[in-house]
């Protein structure tokens, strides 16, 4: 038996498939894409809230709706809503395309801002990890994990 958890094995497989398809999650089947997107996003959010998450430029510049849709797919609706609300706070269109503008906006915020509060609700939310594991288990045949 492996020392790795089911979710770790599922993510290892999903990330190996991501590499195989050239690094663009959009080229993966939806269950694999979902594991990659959530595993990446939640890890970043858990390390530094929305400041870290929105401070990243993700490969292939996906709109933030790709993330919130993935969260909804696993049943983490509250986290998805927080991502959507935070993305909508940027005072310009297509914030996923403009890191410098995102950083300027976030740098001007104080710790009591709605943006920070939304991130605090998702940061460290263990229910996201539990929902992702349950989602991966429901799709274990695709993840080649039985």
Decide if 62 contacts 96 (C-beta within 8 A): yes
Does residue 71 lie in a domain region?
Answer: yes
Does residue 146 lie in a domain region?
Answer: no
Q: How many domains does the chain have?
A: 1
In the predicted structure, residue 2 carries a pLDDT above the cut 60: no
- 8-state DSSP, 136: H
Residue 49's closest CA among 137, 114, 121, 134?
A: 121
Express each pLDDT in 72-109 by its tens digit: 999 999 999 999 999 999 999 999 999 999 999 999 99
Does residue 1 lie in a domain region?
Answer: no
Does residue 66 lie in a domain region?
Answer: yes
Express each pLDDT in 15-37 by its tens digit: 999 999 999 999 999 999 999 99
Does residue 116 lie in a domain region?
Answer: yes
Does residue 109 lie in a domain region?
Answer: yes
* Full domain range(s) for residue 125: 6-138
Decide if 63 contacts 96 (C-beta within 8 A): yes
Decide if 128 contacts 75 (C-beta within 8 A): no
What are the φ and ψ backbone dihedral angles of 139, each rounded to 5 degrees?
-115, 25
Does residue 67 lie in a domain region?
Answer: yes
Contacts of residue 114, Cβ cutoff 8 Å, sequence gap at least 6: 85, 89
Does residue 144 lie in a domain region?
Answer: no
- In angstroms, the CA 64 to CA 85 distance is 10
């Amino acid at each position: 038996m492996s020392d790795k958890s089911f979710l770790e094995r599922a993510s290892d497989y999903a990330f190996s498939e991501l590499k195989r398809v050239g690094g663009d999650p959009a080229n993966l089947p939806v269950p694999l894409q979902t594991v990659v997107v959530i595993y990446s996003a939640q890890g970043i959010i858990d390390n530094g809230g929305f400041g870290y998450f929105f401070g990243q430029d993700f490969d292939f510049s996906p709109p933030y709706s790709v993330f919130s849709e993935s969260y909804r797919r696993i049943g983490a609706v509250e986290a998805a809503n927080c991502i959507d609300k935070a993305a909508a706070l940027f005072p310009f269109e297509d914030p996923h395309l403009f890191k410098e503008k995102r950083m300027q906006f976030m740098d001007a915020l104080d710790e009591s801002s709605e943006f920070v509060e939304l991130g605090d609700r998702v940061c460290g939310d263990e229910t996201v990890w539990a929902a992702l594991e349950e989602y991966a288990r429901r799709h274990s045949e695709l993840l080649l994990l039985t």
